[in-house]
Amino acid sequence: MTTRAPAPAQTAFPALGTTAALLVTDPTALPVATAVLRAELAAVDLACSRFRPDSELTRVNLGAGTSMTVSAYFAEALQVALRAARITDGAVDPTVGRAVIALGYDRTFASVRPDDARPLPVSRPAPGWRRIVFDPHTRRLRLPAHTRLDLGATAKALVADRAARRAAAATGSGVLVSLGGDLATAGPAPEGGWRIALADDHAQPPTEPGPAVAVTGGALATSGIRVRTWRRDGRTLHHIVDPATGEPAAPVWRTVTVAAATCVDANTASTAAIVRGERAVDWLRGTALPVRLVGLDGDVVLLGGWPPDSHGPAHGGAR
């Protein structure tokens, strides 16, 4: 007689302006895994939040133009962001902070004015990641004057990777960590893999069964232009900025979902694809990563061996 493994245990709570979801294959591991995730979330918020006056990122941005020593955690987050900029040829660039603020995303998204009549300032390209002076050995950093970093996307992905690894190591359980739909796994997956639903918005309950994919390891990340939007001066804006222009990336893809070994790599590729727009497909083919792109008209493009869409019950969402 065979017995089925217990269904994954899970919890979810607000974090980093989105929803943090945690699933474990061993239900007894949930309390320890939750404590690990909460500790990682607290650490990244204190280091990398641009909305906290006491965060290290706020101190770094206020000190632009001068040299300073940063913490080990901040150094890791910065190196991840700089690597993302390097491998995407600057499509994902941490120096877009001033442009994001100028567009109106100058506070937590829940507090952003949904319809702001103020005129938009003249857009300017980001200063560029190559102008950052950073020594990873001494952790000495110097930003160009008047530069503001925004580590948002890569820092969130880094937390998902770190929390999944640490929780799996601490418990021996299979672990899935999802932050706003960007997810990382570690340890043994449940039978058949983690079943992940795909949609535009992870926070909205589906009105009908949508496509889903099974993940047996690694990570998945989705970038899109439909969820974090607001209006200013009569224009609809979104949060993914093209560093070359300082403007929201041209709307070509509704969502881009990428599978990779780490959430950082998946998120880097999905964000770069939104920024590259029409040029994304050729660039993504060069990465050999499995990718699912959804155009504004709903047409789906599959690359890198991404499986045809299937439907079914899901453990979680990547939206």
pLDDT at 235: 74
Q: pTM of the full predicted structure?
A: 0.91
- pLDDT tens readout for residues 44-65: 999 999 999 999 999 999 999 9
d(CA 293, CA 300) in angstroms, rounded, equals 6
What tokens were used for 202?
Answer: 């992870």
* E-strand stretches of 16-130: 18-24, 67-69, 115-116
Indicate the pLDDT class of residue 319, thresholds 50, 70 and 90: very low
Calculate the CA dihedral of residues 248, 250, 255, 256 and round it to 10 degrees.
-100
Query: What average pLDDT does this structure show over 90-99?
Result: 96
Tell me if 207 sits within 8 A of 309, measured CB to CB. no
Instruction: Give 9-318's CATH code, choosing from 3.30.110.70, 3.10.520.10, 3.40.50.970, 3.50.50.60.
Output: 3.10.520.10
Asked whether the predicted pLDDT for residue 245 surpasses 80, the reply is: yes
**pLDDT tens, residue by residue, 169-228:** 999 999 999 998 799 999 999 999 999 998 765 555 544 567 899 999 999 999 999 877
pLDDT of residue 50: 93
Q: What mean pLDDT is predicted for residues 271-282?
A: 97
Q: Residue 223: name the closest of 261, 263, 254 by CA.
A: 254
More confident residue, 288 or 315: 288
Q: pLDDT band for 102, please (50, 70, 90 cuts).
A: confident
Sheet of strand 211-215, all strands in order from the earlier edge strand to the far edge: 310-311, 211-215, 194-198, 316-318
CB 218 within 8 A of CB 269: no
d(CA 144, CA 317): 39
Per-residue confidence (pLDDT) for residue 9, from 0 to 100: 95
pLDDT of residue 266: 98
Query: CA–CA separation, 201 vs 158, rounded Å?
Result: 21
> What is the rounded average pLDDT of the residues 157-174?
98
Q: How many angstroms separate the CA atoms of 92 and 86, rounded?
A: 8
